[in-house]
Amino acid sequence: MERFFSLKHLTVEQLRDLYRDACKVGKLLVEYDQPGVERHYEVNLTEDEILKNISGESRNYLVFHEDFEDEPNATSVAFSLSEHPFTTAYIDIENTLLDWFVKKYSLMQWWQMEGSERKHYPFTQFYTLEPMKRHLFN
């Protein structure tokens, strides 16, 4: 299962705060994804360079994955970097921290791909703020 949460409602400063908060508890990986090539390349950028390139205009999201394509269970925050095309800063955090990020950053809606269609749902259909009670309707 892989479920995405939009960050479009956050200001640039809130996005930068989210980046900092996630880095305190997670692992940062910056990747360049060359179009047409399956391989990703790790990129070394300074924190100042990453923060400068976090934009509300970019595709930023938080994703919860559990039992998904042999990937480790984790919650990841992704920031597309505005002045570095095809480059994304990912921070992986433990799933147990999801409710803290939900509360602090007011995550209200999630989406997932169902076939070729993106379906949107209210957050309450996925998760309640009781300790880690997940609702797997799909």
- Rounded alpha-carbon distances, angstroms, from residue 62 to 22, 23, 35, 38, 73: 11, 13, 22, 22, 14
The pLDDT mean for the chain works out to 83
Q: Is the pLDDT of residue 129 over 50?
A: no
Host domain of residue 62: 2-134
Interhelix angle 12-25/98-105, nearest 10 degrees: 160
pLDDT digits (tens, 9 = 90+) for 41-59: 899 999 999 999 999 988 8
Q: Is the pTM of this model over 0.75?
A: yes
80 vs 84: CA distance, rounded Å: 8
Q: Coil, strand or helix: which one is 19?
A: helix
Residue 111 region, left (φ>0) first, then alpha (ψ -120 to 50), else beta? beta
* Number of CB atoms found within 10 A of residue 116's CB: 5
- Rounded alpha-carbon distances, angstroms, from residue 89 to 14, 67, 134: 16, 22, 27
pLDDT digits (tens, 9 = 90+) for 73-98: 889 999 999 999 999 999 999 988 88
Please state the domain count of the chain: 1
pLDDT at 127: 52
77 vs 92: CA distance, rounded Å: 7
